[in-house]
Amino acid sequence: MNIVYRALRILIKIYTDIRDRITPGWSQKNSSRIREWELMAYAFSKSKIGVLGGFMVFITVVLAIIGPIISWEPYWIYKTITDPKLMYLPPCLPPWCSGRPILGTDEWGRDIVAMSLYGFRISFVISIVVVFFGSVIGIVLGLVSGYKGGVVDEIIMRLTDIFMAFPSLILAIAFAAVLPSRIRGFLGENIWFRNILSTIFGLRPQEYPQLAALLSVWIAMVVVWWPGYTRIIRGTVLSVREHPFIEAAKLCGLSTWRILVKHILPNVLSPVIVMITFDMATATLFAASLSFLGLGPQEPVPELGYMISKAGRYFPERSLHVVAYLGLVLLFIALGWNLLGDALRDVLDPRTRRALEFREEKV
């Protein structure tokens, strides 16, 4: 069979073994669920788009983790101050040319490939945190709003309306413009927090004003991110709530929270997973857009959007290669997540899965 399927099955096996270790007999009790997972794994492995997307996401994540560690050039050294000729060196591909960075340099004479490795980390950290907090807040509010109804629902929906009525980029810009100076003071005082942040972003603690900017991008994006989830979850909950099994659960005397978490949440999970995957791409591009507009970190942080906006000033005469390469990096990250999400949407749809079941019996 195929490698992807085998790898995914091993992952499922590991997970069930762990669950079995914790609560013996778990895998027997959940055998139909495990079978469902295996079917999903099979359907996924058959999707070329999904496998390609998964591969690209894998590379993105690996580079995000090891990028700042393997990067061969420190980002904080402004080489052009001593040697102005290094500014925007054109690409230098091995057979024809050697001794210079392969894809050229940026305005400070730094190797753009080395810089993009830091960029992978920064944009990954921003997007995953934003999507995580945004989706958690959105899901909780959506569940409560959809299930409780009445006044609570009305208040939450008005609140989401307010936040959705803002153009998200403008609201984020406003937050990103207002927050940094406050956060900067906080980071200046709390050295431990500064250290944690700098490790997460792969930057030096000295850059704490820039860390403050990154943190404010986080907050700004979370603020505009949750309403989308709230809307979708609420809609799904409203339709799930009508099913007889919820009525049955209520009659059994289950508490509201138990019904929400045990019975409603699993039913809204697959659209949420798909949405989260797509949102990783959107958040990456959104963060890049904010820093492109100059509202993210500043010098010397090699954030992808910021580097493109700087290179834009010399576009296209001197910096075509910088814009093209860094643009491709962003495209690569976002496309990976989008391809993965597109395939997951098919795989998580029970209709396509059921069509596959027959084949499985034959194999």
Partner 1 sequence: MGLAHYLARRVITFIPTLIGVLLITYIVAYAIPADPVRAWVGEKLLNREALEMVRKKYKFDAPWYEQFAFFVQQLLTGQLEDPIRYRNVFSEIFFRFGITVELALISFLFLVAIGIPLGIVAAMKKDSPVDFFVRIFALIGSSLPSFVLYYFLILILFVYYRTTSLAGIPLPSQTCTDFISSLPNQIPVLGYIVSAIGSVPMFGAAMCGEGGVVVETFRRLYLPALALALLSGGFIARIVRNSILDVMGSEFILYAKARGLSKLKIWGHALKNAMIPIVTVLGLNFGGLLSGAVIAENVFNIPGIGKYMYDAITRLNFPVIIASTFLVALIYLVVNFVVDIIYAVIDPRIRY
Partner 2 sequence: MQSSGEKVVLNDGEVLRVEKLEVRFYTYAGVVHAVSNVSFYVREGETIALVGETGCGKTITTRAITKLIESPGRIESGIALFRRRNGQIVDLLKLDDEEIRKIRGDEIAYVFQDPSAALDPLYTVGYHFIETVKAHRNNVSKKNIIYLAIKLLREVAIPSPEVRVKNYPHELSGGMRQRSVIAISLSNMPKLLIADEPTTNLDVTIQAQILELLQELQKRYGMSMILITHNLGVVAETANRVYVMYAGKIVEEGNCETIFYNSAHPYTQLLLKAVPNPLKKIEKLESIPGTVPSLINPPPGCRFHPRCPFAMDICRKEEPPKIKLDDNHYVFCWLYTKR
For the beta carbon of residue 96, count every other beta carbon within 10 angstroms.
Answer: 6
Decide which of partner 1, partner 2, none touches 30; Cβ closer than 5 to 8 Å per partner kind: none
For the beta carbon of residue 127, count every other beta carbon within 10 angstroms.
Answer: 27
Q: How many residues bind partner 1 (CB under 8 A)?
A: 48
CB closer to partner 2, 72 vs 358: 358
Residue of 206, 237, 51 lying closest to 144 (CA atoms): 237
The answer to whether residue 315 forms part of the interface with partner 1 (CB under 8 A) is: yes
Q: Specify whether the CB–CB gap between 249 and 154 falls below 8 A.
A: no
- Report residue 83 as tokens: 């040697």
Q: How far is it, in rounded angstroms, from Cα 193 to Cα 205?
A: 10
Q: Of the listed pieces 151-159, 234-242, 254-262, 352-360, which binds partner 2 according to CB under 8 A?
A: 352-360
Decide which of partner 1, partner 2, none touches 252; Cβ closer than 5 to 8 Å per partner kind: none
- Applying the rule CB under 8 A, the residues between 140 and 179 that interact with partner 1 are 158-159, 161-167, 169-171, 173-175, 177-178
CB of residue 320 vs partner 1: minimum separation in angstroms?
8
Q: How far is CA 107 from CA 171, 228, 293, 300, in A?
A: 31, 39, 18, 11
Decide which of partner 1, partner 2, none touches 181; Cβ closer than 5 to 8 Å per partner kind: partner 1
Q: How far is CA 214 from CA 80, 226, 332, in A?
A: 26, 19, 22
Identify the H or E element spanning 247: helix 244-251
Decide which of partner 2, partner 1, none touches 292; Cβ closer than 5 to 8 Å per partner kind: partner 1
- Judged by the rule CB under 8 A, the positions of this chain that interact with partner 1 are 49, 158-159, 161-167, 169-171, 173-175, 177-178, 181-182, 278, 281-282, 285, 288-289, 292-294, 305, 308-309, 312, 315-316, 320, 323-324, 326-327, 330-331, 334-335, 337-339, 342
- Judged by the rule CB under 8 A, the positions of this chain that interact with partner 2 are 355-359, 361-362
